[in-house]
A = this chain, B = another copy of it.
Amino acid sequence: MSSIKFKIIKKLKGALARAGVLNTRHGDILTPAFVTVGTKGTVKSLSPEQVASLGAQVVLANTYHLYLQPGDKIVKKAGGIHKFMNWKGPAMTDSGGFQVFSLGDAMITNASKIVSGKLSGNKFLKVQKQKKLAEIDENGVKFTSQIDGSSHYFTPEKSIKIQHNIGADIIFAFDECVSSQASYEYQIKAMERTHKWAKQCIDYHKKSKNSKTQALFGIVQGGKFRDLRKKSAKIISSMPFDGFGIGGSFIKEDIDAFVGLVNKILPEAKPRHLLGIGEPIDLFGAIEQGVDLFDCVAPTRMARNGTLYTKKGKINIFNAKFKQDFKSIEKDCNCYTCKNYTKGYIAHLFRAKEIFAATLSSIHNLYFIINLVSQIRESILNNNFYKFKKINIKNLKCSQ
């Protein structure tokens, strides 16, 4: 008996897209839905009330980061993630699998792509050390803490145990997230490891009483190889997971095709989460290909750097012309930021390095993407998805 229920309300004719309701112990999620990221038990720069009032239905925290700081046992003692961070709605945790990639190979291959925060204080926008902090073997992953250099070994069972302590409504199996640059041979090896680990995760979870209160999603891997994606989808969907994640480091142009390939194999009745994807322009294709949930740090990370979403592409609030622009970010936007503040004020806050700059920008970007997904859901319900997609994609590709 799963602790979540998923009901498909409407399917898009001739496509994989669907609108549904995902019922959790902390409330319903109307799908497709954008999942707001709260890595360390807080959506950066926002109160839970601000998060809820901009329309966010569900928050995703990070297993690896909470394990290191403050420690999953502390979160458990505090009464679990909901109580700890004062979030009353549904919550998820990823498994730490993405950190296998982001702290492993990505530290080396992306060494040149250091993103540096324009709002000082966002230390975590900076990749501070270009040393590999994750090493993988057959049984698990050795992480080196970026906080104090201490060593930690994650097995599939340990990842689930940590997620039990954190106590989110939906948790993920521990997987190996591989670089899109990896060879076919390595992808096979990693995929097989992910499948083996998936089995270990589900066995461990099913034996625990937490399986009555927490739903476990398996993760499909397979990288950029069609045959491996298919194989992974078949094997993972054969296991009794409550839902599925689609993981991996994609080549952006491939996402739609690969997601469709996987979703044709995954059982229709269970929810699907495309992990780590979700800039506005990515959503339409993913939803069309049958995805129900997305999470992505981009809206809030970009916000803290002064990059703001609009229906006609992104704007950079540091552009000098905005200093004397006394209009809202977007004319018809109903977010708190657009209802009450001008671009001139936000530009001032960024230049003055005021924390409230991050708050106002994050509210706008999150509202923008959450509201866009909500409108896409409406378009599925109202049979005008393709029209809505066409107009929006064209506009989003503009650049102001």
Interface residues of A (CB under 8 A from B): 40-42, 44-47, 50, 65, 69-70, 74, 77-79, 84-86, 119-124, 323-324, 326, 340-342, 344-345, 347-349, 351-356, 358-359
Contact = CB atoms under 8 A, between A and B. Distances in A.
Contacts of A353: 121, 123-124
Contacts of A358: 355
Contacts of A79: 326
Contact of A326 (B47, B65, B78): B78
From A74, A86, A341, A355, name the one whose CB has the most chain B CB atoms within 10 angstroms.
A355
A337 to B, nearest CB: 10
Contact of A74 (B74, B77, B119, B323): B323
B342 A78 contact: yes
Contacts of A352: 40, 42, 65, 69-70
Contacts of A120: 120-121, 123
B44 A345 contact: no
22 contacts: A40-B349, A40-B352, A41-B345, A45-B356, A45-B359, A47-B50, A65-B352, A69-B351, A70-B347, A70-B348, A70-B352, A74-B323, A74-B324, A78-B326, A79-B326, A85-B345, A86-B340, A86-B341, A120-B123, A121-B122, A123-B353, A355-B355
A323 B121 contact: no
A267 B370 CA distance: 57
A64 B139 CA distance: 61
Contacts of A348: 40-41, 69-70, 74
Contacts of A70: 323, 344, 347-348, 351-352
A14 B317 CA distance: 57
